[in-house]
Amino acid sequence: MPEHIAYSWRGPVTDSEMVELVQSYGGRAVAGWWDQIRGHSLGWVTARNVEGELVGFVNVAWDGGDHAFLMDTKTRGSLQHQGVGTEVVRRAVVHARAAGCEWLHVDFDAELAPFYFDACGFRSTAAGLIHLPSRP
């Protein structure tokens, strides 16, 4: 894991920082996304380098009770596969548990299974999913 990364629960983060973070790994950034969803979050974990640059992020949405949902795990392109993503997820687990949540859910594309199952400790479970735009 890179040295000198500062992690924070519910640390300040701007929409423009989120756009820049997503662009750093070639993702499709949407301006306004973070400002729109922040209010629906139990919290989030930020990771910043010594210059204060946002290098990692994960959001924890919730139902207000027992269930939390891990969403939007992001790591700066130059730091991927170095443990930053695993650490933001680990800290999200700690804070979701501390908030009284019993379950932390995550969904992901198949190529991310080793990250979530092996590195982060999630287990496979039966679930259902409807892709709403493709439904009549």
pLDDT of residue 131: 86
42, 60 Cβ separation under 8 angstroms: yes
Q: In what order do the strands lie in the sheet with 103-105?
A: 6-9, 41-48, 54-62, 67-75, 103-105
pLDDT tens for residues 35-73?
Answer: 999 999 999 999 999 999 999 999 999 999 999 999 999
Kindly tell me the burial class for residue 20, based on how many C-beta atoms sit within 10 Å of its own C-beta (0-12, 13-18, 19 or more).
middle
Neighbouring-strand partners of residue 6:
48
In the chain, what are the domains? 6-120 (3.40.630.30)
Report pTM. 0.92
Q: Which of 21, 62, 14 is nearest to 35 (CA)?
A: 14
